[in-house]
Structure formats: C-alpha cells, structure tokens
Structure 1
Amino acid sequence: MAENTKNVASNRKAYHEYFIEDKYEAGIVLVGTEVKSIRQGKVNLKDSYVNIKDGEAYVLNMHISPYEQGNIYNVDPLRPRKLLLNKREIRKLLGLATLKGYSLIPLSLYLKNGLVKMELAVAKGKKNYDKRQDLAKKDAERRIQRQDD
C-alpha cells in the first residue's frame, strides 16, 4: 500500500485459513453513515466473503456498526455491498472462483486518498495439516529468534 493509505480493518485469520493466490483492489459502494463508521474503525471482516451474481461482485457478511449520530440514516449492518471492479476483472474472478476449492475473501479495508477501498484475494482453503505445519514453522522461527537474542 502507498503512503497516503490508512488501514482500517484487516482479516488476519484469512492468512491462517487460506493460501492466498492473487490479490485485487476494489472500491465499495457505501452509504454516508457507513463511511463515517468505517473512518472510526467500526468494521469487522472476520466471516465475510465475496460473491459474484449477475455480473456484479458483492461482499457479504461484512459488519459495519451503525454510526451513533446517524439515527434514521443508518442501514442494516450486514447488508450486501457492491464492489466496484472492471467487467474484465469480474469475469476473471468468476472464472477463478468457480475452480474447485477457491474462494474470494476480503483481506483488508483501507482509506486511499479519502476513498474506502477493499483488498480481496483469490484463496484456496487450507487443510488442518497445512495449518499445523504453518504453526510449527512459526514456532520454530520464534525459538530461533529467542536464542539469537
């Protein structure tokens, strides 16, 4: 990410649960009170995923908490939100997502030049033994670091 970006939320669990194959940047369609809530950092990407329907990409299960001063202008915190991608990118993502075992998952949400952007990834789910291998590798690296200090 460039200098003029501010990371608002990230899906750290995604790197544990998936092998990340490819990354994309997408804009996101929001209502005014959602933007204010995101600027305050009240967003959760934990169980969210991207679905492509009728040639358009949507992010589902992304929770944006209602803005406190928003009163009647607040919307449903879990509503599907449209992602802004080129038609060519959407076709490519649809082709990759239909492959067996691949998913589209959001990695992070950030502000770039005042606009809310999402980094999404084409990812393949890890098996339990893959997760155990990663944990063992990290544990070994930690032990080596402690011995060097």
Structure 2
Amino acid sequence: MKNLRKLCLGIVLLTLFTLTACLGTKNYNYKMNNDVTDGNVVVTVKGDKVINYSTNIEIKSYAKSNLETLKYLYNMYYGSLKGVKYTIDYNESKQLAKIKLDIDLTKADIKELYKKRILIDKEVKYISLKDIEKILSTQGYKRVK
C-alpha cells in the first residue's frame, strides 16, 4: 500500500513538473543579411502565442540627411502604441543606422497593431509563431538554430 502511494505521488509530481516545463517561454532567433541591411529578430513565445518581438536592424551606407525622415516615420508608426519601444542611432563615420524595436505583446493592443499592419495582416486574438514566421520569411529572414 505504501509503495502504491509513493508511485502515485511520483506520477503526480512528474506530471506537474512536465506541465510546468511546457508552459515556460521559448526564444526563436531569425537573421537576414543582404548588401544593404543586416537584421536580427528574437521572438519569445509561450506555447504558440508570441509574447515579445525584438528586432535589431543595421542599415549600411545610410545618408545622414535621411535620418530625420526615418525618425519621423518610426514615431508616426510606433510612437503612440502601448508596449512598443524603439531607438534609432547613427554612426556618422560608418554611415550606419541602427534601429532597435521591441514590442511587448502582453501590453500591446492587438487591434492597433492590426490597423497599422504591424506583425499581422488579419484580425486575431493573439499573434502566433506561425503568423510571425510567415511575415519574417517574406522579408528574407531565416530561423537560426
């Protein structure tokens, strides 16, 4: 009888441990390189639901005269959105623009992202990994393992 209790308790604990491990978050990395742009994206998911999207983009041979326009466009597009942070830096000697964009999808309004066609092209309750991978592949990104 004691052995049966120990066995049952062991099975219950193993099941709880397995379920807890499955509920954790996982990061997926994507890269894109071409003559003009280097991009790196990290997508954090919980299950199939994307909870964070972070990208770093370097634009080579970027003219400083275009920098204000780039900043204006990013502010217009992302500035008012909840859960979105971005920075734009410029290295004048290398003519290199660096853009960092973070979208916390636990705070962002999915409807607002849809209206601006950011990360999604259809109305959804949440953004799935499949949706993100589809968009990234059309932009030339490949998953890095």
Q: Do the structures match in fold with TM over 0.5?
A: no
TM-score bucket (shorter structure):
under 0.3
Larger radius of gyration: 2
The one of the two structures with greater contact order (alpha-carbon pairs below 8 A, sep at least 6) is: 1
